[in-house]
Amino acid sequence: MPLLPDTAYFVESSEDSSVMLALDAKLHDGLLEWFDTSRDRAFEVKSFEDLPDGLRVVTERASYQLRRLTIEIYEAHVRDQVTGHRPFSSTEAVQEFYRHFPR
């Protein structure tokens, strides 16, 4: 599935533990980039493949898997790593929150 606009993604990488959230993620001109809630991230892409709910991208130094952030992923992997540990009741609510996240 191509990266969707206005959608928050959960990022995983076995080589890069600095990643977690990706807002405004996009793939263009050979680059994968996103806003990680604090700063811009950008990587030159070697290859990529679509996943049912996101994208797997291989860059020079690491590979990244971006999956649409759901309430289940948020609860399991994100909530306790972000300021305020805000609870949400649904995927739509967590997506809405990050749609409005200051950037």
Partner 1 sequence: MLPSMSAVSKPGPKPAPTPAAAPEANKTAAASSAPAPLDAQGSAKPESTEILSGPARIKSTPAVEGIPESFPVQALSKLEAKGIAGQTFLLDGGALRGLKLEVRRVRDGKEPGFEIAFQLTPSKLAPLLEAMKKQEAKPGPLTFRELKVGEDGVAEYGSARAQIKHSSHRAPPDSDAQDQAWVLSLEGQKGGRIEVVHERAALAVRGLVRIHLKGDDATCTKQLDGLTKELGLAPLFAPPTAKSKKVNALMHALWQADNAKAAEFSKGELDKLSVADVEAALEAAGYSKERIAGIRYEEVYSGHFAAVDPEQAKEMGKAGARYLYSTVTAPEHVHSILMHGQKSSLERYKDGLIIEGMSTNSDFGTGGAVGVFTRLVTQDSIYSEQGWTGRTYKLLQTPGQLGRTDFYGWNGDYFGKRFELDSKQNFGLGLVAAIGAGGTYKTTNELIFTAGNRPENILRVIATSEEARGKLLKFLKEKGYEPHNGLALEDFVVLSPKFLIFGEAPYDSSDLPAFLADAKQKASDGNLAPLTWFLIEGPLEGSARAELETEIILGDNAPLRTALFKAARLRGELALGAGLDAVIDALAAKGDAGKISLDQLVSSMPEALFRSQSEKAFELLDARRKTFSSHSSPFGLSDDTWVRIYRALGSASGGGAKKLFDLAIDVRAQSLAQQRHDGFLSFLASHPLVQPEDPAAFLTSEVAKLVAGEPSPRLHLYAAQKLEPEARAALESRLIEADHASTLALLRQGLDAKPELALDGPALETLFQGMAEGSAIKKYLLGQVPDVILKLGHQPLLDRLVAHHGTKLDFNQYDQERWLSVVDTLLAKSGGEITPYVRDVLERGALRLLQRSEFLERLPSLAGLYQVEDATAFISGALQEIKGRGALQLMSLLRGPPELSAHRVAVVKALLESSAHEAKHLLGRARDAGNPAQLPLSAEERRELVKVLGHEATKTAALAFFGLEGRQILLDATQDLLPVFDEVLKGDTNPLGKLDLQTNAIAEVVGLLQARTDAHGPAVADWLLRKGAKAALGANELPFIGLLTNSKATLASIGLDGASAAELIKSTINAVSYYYGSPSYADQPTYAELPAGAKWLLFQGEDHPDDAALAAVELALPAWNWTEPVLEAVMKRIPNLSEEWKARLTAARVKK
Query: Which of 5, 52, 72, 85 is close enough to bind partner 1 by CB under 8 A?
Result: 85
Choice between 27 and 52, CB closer to partner 1: 27
Distance CA 13, CA 20 (A): 9
Is residue 36 near partner 1 by the rule CB under 8 A?
yes
Distance CA 42, CA 32 (A): 6
45 lies in the site for partner 1, by CB under 8 A: no
Q: Is 82 in the site for partner 1 (CB under 8 A)?
A: yes
> Nearer to partner 1 by C-beta: 44 or 50?
44
Residue with tokens 């952030």: 69
One-letter identity of residue 1: M
77 DSSP 8-state letter = I
CA-CA distance, 3 to 53, in Å (whole number)?
Answer: 9
1 or 82: CB nearest partner 1: 82
Q: Can you count the helices (H) and strands (E) in the chain?
A: 2, 6
Give contact residues for partner 1 (rule: CB under 8 A).
16-21, 24, 29, 31, 33, 35-44, 60-61, 75-76, 78-90, 92-93, 96-98, 100-103
